[in-house]
Amino acid sequence: MKIYWRKFDDEYVPKFVEKRHNKNMADDVDVGSFITKTTTLYERIVRLTKVCRVVKGGRKYKYLALVVVGNMCGRIGFGIAKANEAQDAVIKSSRCAQSHMLNVPLGKNKRLIYNVDGKHNSTKVLMWNSRDGVGIKASSAIRSILDGLGIKNASAKIIGSRNPHNVIRATFNALEKLCIRFRLWKYHC
């Protein structure tokens, strides 16, 4: 996906151009969609699995989708859903992600404000800023979240289980801590 950052009303705003995978998505975004007030959301399928249930007549198969949705300007959400078809599972989970989005405060040039860590079950995630030009150094699950937020330079480390469900929940736990810490800082200043 090519994205270009252009200045619009003293703020860098993204616009999507084309789809390309396995790159730092926040590097290139375009402004036109924000001028017309139609926001195109970044959507990434983190995991799509086929699950089986054994019943009296045999096996029944369903698909489970884990999807991350963001607007590349500080809003991010994730959704998990099951359906009989893979496409339906992805649509359901993206709808769920859009309805449960989190506003994350970002610093200047779309950076994390603080170094944060989050935990879920046996997974611990540590995130911190990197210098300009480094890009995102993280696993694919964390990268999809940082790309959806619009962060260009960051690093992350996973300690413990690398199950994508746990990693995503631990990352969101860290981002919620970041929101709380920012609100407390804003309140006391």
pLDDT digits (tens, 9 = 90+) for 128-181: 999 888 899 999 999 999 999 999 999 999 999 999 999 999 999 999 998 887
Facing residues of 52 across strands?
Answer: 61
Give, to the nearest 10 degrees, the angle between helix 164-188 and helix 140-149.
Answer: 40
pTM of the complete model: 0.76
Q: Under a CB-based contact definition with an 8 Å cutoff, are residues 141 and 127 in contact?
A: no
Distance, in Å, from the CA atom of 63 to the CA atom of 152, rounded to the nearest integer, reads 32
Residue 79 has a pLDDT of: 95
Instruction: Give residue-wise pLDDT tens across range 84-141.
Output: 999 999 999 999 999 999 999 888 888 888 899 999 999 999 999 998 888 999 999 9
Angle at 63 between CA 144 and CA 47, to 5 degrees: 20
Task: Give mean pLDDT, residues 12-31.
Answer: 45
Alpha-carbon distance 62 to 56, whole Å?
A: 16
* pLDDT number for residue 91: 93
Structure tokens at 60: 């029944």
The separation between CA 133 and the C-alpha centre of its own chain, rounded to angstroms, equals 20
Which residue, among 133, 154, 128, 134, has the nearest Cα to 143 in the 3D structure? Answer: 154
Domains of the chain: 105-188 (3.30.230.10)
